[in-house]
Structure 1
Amino acid sequence: MKVWQVGPKVKRDEIVKILVDKRGLELKSIRPEKLTLKSVGIKTVAVKKAVTRIKRAIKDQETVVVYGDYDADGIGATAIMWEALHGLGVNVWPFIPHREEHGYGLSIKGIEAMIAERRPSLVVTVDNGIVAHQAAKKLVQEKIDLIITDHHQVGKKLPEAMAIIHTTQLCGAGVAWMVAKEMNPPAAQTSLDVAALGTVADMMELKGANRSLVKYGLPKLRQTDRVGLIELYQEAGLEPVTIDTYAINFLVAPRLNATGRLSHGLDSLRLLCTHDRQRAKELAQTLGQANKDRQSLLQVQLDHARLKLGVKVKQEKILVVADEAYHQGVIGLIAGKLTEEFYRPSVVLSIKGEQAKASARSIPGFNIIEAIRTAEDLVIEAGGHPMAAGFSVEVAKITALTERLRSVAEKELDEEKLQPVVRVDCEVEAKDISLGLWKELEQLAPFGVGNPRPTLALMGVTTAQARPVGGEGKHLKLRLKELPQAEAIGFNLGALLPQLTSGRRVDVAFQLNKNVWNGRERLELKIKDLRLC
């Protein structure tokens, strides 16, 4: 059962002001080019060191490698940094590690593969490296200089590097964009679309600098000159003018992520950077097919994980499941789905030989990376954020690790924290619901983490009509007596239908949407939850 946390009942003309104040938003965001390093938590001295080293690389015609990551944020960060350096005349090459062959981030195996391709004298990481101590030592041994740019949480000490450019306020693409802005402002302006894409894809809070990057980056994404993105939109059935944070999260980013999950992320990077229309079309088709394959694989392995966990989904405060069948490319998605469905922190491990790769997702109130770090004696180079993390572990230590994590969860998670919460921003009157209100609420966009689309509530309203929709009547269409001009839809709420007889009074938590059909605009309520009075 979900717990409702309901904000105040407010008048029509107070709604936007209350939301802005509550969320700490600035409706007039600073333009990205005006952002300073200090304002986003990046040390100016570190950037100056990096720029000085890069200038020397230009002067001496050195080979430089941008060492990226295989997710949408890491791919975007690689594109931003590569384009900025290439625009300055640097002899620069990108390197995207292979998930299964090289593992996550800057690794010894990845470095060996990179050197085999082309031996650089300077490596610049993006979206990784802040906990890569052994890999950093390997580069010292190889007499290769290292500049780290990353946003993941630091460990107890920093790796050895010529410069470390770090902040947790931005995503990897955001950090790369800030560095690009200092080195090559014209290139940064060109890559603002990719910075916005990475920020949304990596689930950053859309406040402050992140809000700025996305607010001004979205128009660039809608009008992009990148033929790869144009072809990807077409493959996904997207009209460029409709690109918003939802489209990025559910249509664009999954396609960019798919190749890195199942094969090699390099094709996603090629798509972002290519100027060849035919090549872009081919790459877009490749990404689209990889995404379909990823969806099929995820469903099969998620079903397996549910079966394997069995009754533990209700008994345990943290879910841990390991199997040789799980593909490393989808374990993060499996963990996310388990956490969403059962409202528990989840850890999913893919076993290969004597070692397992793990991906973890969490719920508010439980810092998953700190929980994992309580088992530093058991895991291998854990990294991540409070809500998502990854690590490796020897198969022989999985049982001990599971017990350690269960112990932490038992201490930190009480029953209240394990109850899903419906957060309602404010209660409103039915007479205040209109397309005009929807338009006013759109001032708060872009919506996403930290600034979700506002959830409003109508209390004690009367059902006029209810009917099932979707396969097996899984979803619910509803009309309310007090709101005849709008239809409401509740996804996965079809089971409530027998109780929603005409005239039944209900509380409805919802988000306002606008539907356009044949040129006509209609108001729609997207139901988040529904309570019987």
Structure 2
Amino acid sequence: MEKRWIEHSDYDPQVVEQLETELNVSPVISKLLYKRGIFDFEEARKFFRPSIDHLHDPFLMKDMEKAIHRIEQAIRNREKILIYGDYDVDGTTSVSLVFSYFRKIHSLIDYYIPDRYKEGYGISTQGIDWAAEHGFSLIIALDCGIKSVDKVDYALEKNIDFIICDHHLPGDEIPRAAAVLDPKRVDCEYPYKELSGCGIGFKLAQAFSQKNNMPFEDLEQYLDLTVVSISSDIVPITGENRTLAFFGLKRLNENPCAGIKALIDLSSSREDITVTDIVFQIGPRINAAGRIDDAKHAVHLLISSTDELATEQGLIVNSKNTERKEVDSTITTEAMAMMENIPEMSSRRSTVLFSPKWHKGVIGIVASRLIEKYYRPTIVLTESNGMATGSARSVNGFDIHQAISSCSDLLEQFGGHKYAAGLTISLDNVDAFIERFEQVVSSTIEDCSLSQQIEIDEFIKLSDISPKLIRIIKQFAPFGPQNMKPVFASRNVWCKYDPQIVGNNHLKFSVQQSDGHTFECIGFGLGEHYQRIRKGIPFDMCYTIEENTWNGKTTIQLSVKDIK
């Protein structure tokens, strides 16, 4: 699929020049900073030198005072507290963090994860009934609940209070909970709006510690869980998230909790673990527990008090991930065959597929796989509890949550983000939804959103690549949404020798430019370009700059993203 290269070259030359002078950096670095919203020395200092002091006062979040007051009341009155969370990585890390923190303070505490298949997403009636039957009078809901108006009312009828800690967009009505913590509330003036669910759980613990004069050092042990959630939930790595991720990675690499350590050992991750390693190695293993079986396995792992317990739970979680891979592969193959066998699919601007026999736990992954190949807004549906339930994934620049909202009269429920959402439909409405969704997408999506794009940070010469440039770029980490690893492009380069195909269709070659500078390159999955870049044929390429260590020797290697 042809990819579009987008270069954002709109910057203020005066500001860029000032950054260059004040920081003693190259124009390349000053432009990279400008594009990340860093315009002066002080902002650059905070960016390059993250500090725990950069975290905001948790009491700036609306209802935080109410939340802490209600928790203190529960502790004082010996009430039973239930920590309730979603079954994905963000939910299970949230529950693990808040449960681990408060069980050191209050013994009458337990946790609850809804069953993906029997209860579905978010707060369930079944969960509230379980809490009532077991004598809980306060539920702290994490990574869910902002739209659970009726469920919170139901709980109140049973004399159960809720504290909601969510980061999803609220609906028109805020639930009647004892406290509702969500920076996305229109009436919440908290300075940073993009925390993960676990991030809000961390702020709750921070507020309790602050109120009760407990040292911040007691909270540092939970930063590894926080960075796992930030990475896996694909929230922006900016502002407070970047600070939490920076110190979370430090904790994760130096002294992780027993559960995370077991996952690192099982995933054979490299020593210096990054956000990318979490996204592709650690997060999927945690997620697999809830996708294939019961997400409580993930919480058991993450709250393990000893290495022995963690290893035992880690093996269970890892086996679920192996099973998840097999199921995911089978369904993806079936879905792609379905795409090829429906003639009208080729002319559509959306993809909605339904099969009653597909595994509910992996349909979100399958939707992502379909986007990789066909690149258009995608929803994959299966049957669960007599309803059609689905996972939606979107493409660059298209708000799939808004598109689904436009079809709300056909839905039982829905929720999510701009780029990922979930929905439930009556089986009788599936066909009507498929047609309506296609109409909405066709009338609102821009052509540019229907082809993959690569955002180029800067066009440079190979001679611009130096140890100093690499050293400074490394300080841009942790990388993630809105702070991605810089992508550079160079024009009129050519292969010094004929390229090679290695591994699974990867392209390996040595590239040079007229000034004689030469670098080794690897293009993962780019074997299709083999004939186009034979020795001496000029081409343009975009890439990230990596350090490759082999047999104790570190060299610069360009990881090529595309060739034109």
- Give the TM-score normalised by the residue count of structure 1: 0.94
CA contact (8 A) 1:321 1:349 kept: yes
Matched, 1:172 2:197: yes
Report the residue type matching 2:524 in the other structure.
F
**Cα pair 2:512 2:518 within 8 Å, conserved:** no
Which of 61, 76, 81 in structure 2 is aligned with 1:42? 61
Distance 1:400 1:142 in 2: 39
Give the counterpart of 2:487 among 443, 446, 455.
455
Contact 1:68–1:97 (Cα < 8 Å) also in 2? yes
State the partner residue of 2:121. 104
2:258 alignment counterpart? 227
- Which of 21, 30, 37 is equivalent to 1:17? 30
CA displacement at 1:84 relative to structure 2: 2.4
Question: How many residue pairs are counted as aligned between the two chains?
Answer: 524
> Are 2:490 and 1:489 aligned?
no
Is 1:192 aligned with 2:232?
A: no
Aligned to 2:7: 6
What per-residue deviation string (whole Å, max 9, x for no partner) do you get for residues 359-394 of structure 1?
101112211111111122221231111111112111
Q: Which amino acid aligns with 2:199?
A: G
Q: Does the 8 Å CA contact 1:67/1:123 hold for their aligned counterparts? A: yes
Q: Deviations over 1:27-73 (max 9, x none)?
A: 2455345422579x721xx0111111111111111101010111111
Between the aligned partners of 1:484 and 1:286, the Cα distance in structure 2 is 50
Is residue 174–residue 199 contact of structure 1 (8 Å, CA) maintained in 2?
A: yes
> Does the C-alpha gap of structure 1 residues 32 and 346 become closer, same or farther in structure 2, counting only changes over 3 Å?
farther
Rounded to whole Å, the distance in 2 between the matches of 1:254 and 1:136 is: 31
Partner of 2:87: 70
The residue number in structure 2 matching 1:53 is 70
1:31 correspondence with 2:44: no
Does the residue aligned with 2:171 lie in a helix, a strand or coil? coil
Gaps of 5+ in 1: none
Report the Cα distance in structure 1 between the residues aligned to 2:425 and 2:106, rounded to whole angstroms.
42
Contact 1:29/1:211 (<8 A) preserved: no
Shift of 1:8: 5.0
**Separation in structure 2 between the aligned mates of residue 7 and residue 107 of structure 1, nearest angstrom:** 45
What is the match of residue 208 of structure 2? Answer: 183
The Cα RMSD (Å) is: 2.0
Residues 1:466 and 2:499 aligned together: yes
CA–CA separation in structure 2 for the residues paired with 1:160 and 1:363:
35
Deviation at 1:224, TM superposition (A): 2.2
CA contact (8 A) 1:457 1:507 kept: yes
Q: Judge conservation of contact 2:93–2:226 (CA < 8 Å) in 1.
A: yes
Counterparts of 2:332 and 2:357 in 1: how far apart (Å)?
Answer: 11
The alignment status of 1:282 with 2:307, answered yes or no, reads: no
Report the CA distance between 1:102 and its aligned residue: 1.4
User: Identity, % of aligned pairs?
Assistant: 29
Secondary structure at the counterpart of residue 99 of structure 1: coil
- Structure 2 vs 1, CA of residues 312 and 176 (structure 1 numbering), >3 Å: closer, same or farther? farther
Aligned to 1:245: 275
Deviation at 1:493, TM superposition (A): 1.2
Inter-partner Cα distance in structure 2 for 1:80 and 1:403: 43
SS state at 2:474 partner:
helix
Matched, 1:429 2:471: no
What residue number does 1:297 align with? 327
Contact 1:356 1:393 in 2 (8 A): yes
Which has the higher relative contact order, 1 or 2, with Cα contacts under 8 A spaced 6 or more apart? Answer: 1
Distance across 2 between alignment mates of 1:33 and 1:98:
39
TM-aligned CA deviation for residue 313 of structure 1: 5.0
Task: Give, in whole Å, the separation in 2 of the partners of 1:469 and 1:119.
Answer: 61
The corresponding residue for 1:367 is 399
Q: 1:94 aligns with which of 91, 105, 111?
A: 111
Q: Which of 110, 116, 122 is equivalent to 2:138?
A: 122
Q: Structure 1 residues 431 and 33 mapped into 2: Cα distance closer, same or farther (>3 Å)?
A: closer
Is residue 2:548 matched to residue 1:523? Answer: no
Using the TM superposition, name which of 398-407 and 208-217 deviates more. Answer: 398-407
2:357 is aligned with 1:341: no
Q: CA deviation at 1:277?
A: 1.9
Q: Distance in 2 between matches of 1:126 and 1:33?
A: 25
Structure 1 residue 196 displacement after superposition: 1.3
- Describe the superposition over 1:472-518 as per-residue Cα deviations: whole angstroms up to 9, x where unpaired: xx221121133765311112211121222210101010001111111
Aligned residue for 1:487, secondary structure, equals strand
Gaps of at least 5 residues in structure 2 are: 11-15, 39-43, 185-193, 210-215
Task: Say if 1:47 and 1:379 are closer, same or farther in 2 by CA, change over 3 A.
Answer: same
User: Could you list the per-position Cα deviations for residues 229-276 of structure 1 after superposition, in whole angstroms to 9, with x for gaps in the alignment?
Assistant: 21211111124x411111111111111111011001111111111112
Instruction: Name the structure 2 match of 1:352.
Output: 384
Taking the aligned partners of 1:33 and 1:280, their CA distance within structure 2 comes to 32
Deviation at 1:352, TM superposition (A): 2.9
1:230 and 1:255 map into 2 onto residues whose CA distance is 13
Query: In the alignment, does 2:156 pair up with 1:155?
Result: no
Q: How far apart, in 1, do the equivalents of 2:299 and 2:221 lie?
A: 16
Amino acid at match of 2:272: T
1:437 CA drift (Å): 2.2
Give the superposition deviation at 1:137.
2.2
- The residue type equivalent to 2:230 in the other structure is T
In structure 2, distance between residues paired with 1:112 and 1:219: 41
**Partner Cα distance (1:432, 1:301) in 2:** 46
Per-residue CA shift, 1:180-235, capped at 9, x if unaligned?
Answer: 10002454222111111111110010010111110111100112241122121111
Alpha-carbon offset, residue 354 of structure 1: 2.8
What is the alpha-carbon distance in structure 2 between the residues aligned to residue 214 and residue 520 of structure 1?
29
Residue 478 of structure 2 aligns to a residue whose secondary structure is coil
Tell me which moved more, 226-235 or 24-33.
24-33
Of residues 453-462 and 337-346 in structure 1, the stretch that sits farther from structure 2 once superposed is 337-346
Three-state SS of the structure 2 residue aligned to 1:444 is coil
2:208 maps to amino acid: M
Change (3 A) 1:228 1:416: closer
CA distance in 2, matches of 1:245, 1:322: 33
State the Cα distance separating 1:324 from its structure 2 match: 1.2
Alpha carbons 1:33, 1:181 under 8 Å: kept: no
The offset of 1:461, in angstroms, is 0.6
Query: Which residue pairs with 1:475 in the alignment?
Result: 506
How far does residue 293 in structure 1 lie from its aligned partner after superposition? Answer: 1.1
Q: Identify the residue that residue 308 of structure 1 maps to in structure 2.
A: 338
Question: What do the CA deviations read for 1:441-489 (whole angstroms, capped 9, x no partner)?
Answer: 1111100111111000110111222111123xx2211211337653111
Q: Give the superposition deviation at 1:113.
A: 3.9
Match of 2:439 in 1: 407
Structure 1 residues 312 and 72 mapped into 2: Cα distance closer, same or farther (>3 Å)?
farther
